[in-house]
Amino acid sequence: MLSNNSDRYFNDVKVNYEVTNRSEHTKTVELLVPYVKRNNGQSSISTSQKYSWKNGNMLSFDVTVKADSKKSFEVYFRAKK
């Protein structure tokens, strides 16, 4: 699910990600999300899910999902236009 609260100066986007595991075992998957990181402090990311940067402009979320279940989390992106 995507919600957009952008205004004249900033792009504000909240994205809800959901990962489903239909196997009989707990799995960890890597979810890659492209995002242009600005080093001048004019962009931010807020989430409860741990992430790391990969290849400079790719967010990497390692998501562990128990057997036969779903895991969802929200990511809030904010960047100056």
pLDDT band at 72 (very low <50, low <70, confident <90, very high): very high
Number of domains in the chain: 1
* H or E segment and range at residue 67: none
pLDDT tens digits for range 16-66:
999 999 999 999 999 999 988 777 768 889 999 999 999 888 999 999 999
The residue length of the chain stands at: 81
- The residue among 16, 20, 1, 15 whose CA lies nearest residue 70 is 20
Number of H helices, E strands in the chain: 0, 7
- Total-model pTM: 0.82
Q: Which residues contact 52 (CB under 8 A, 6 or more apart)?
A: 59, 60
Q: Which domain holds residue 41?
A: 2-80
pLDDT at 61: 97
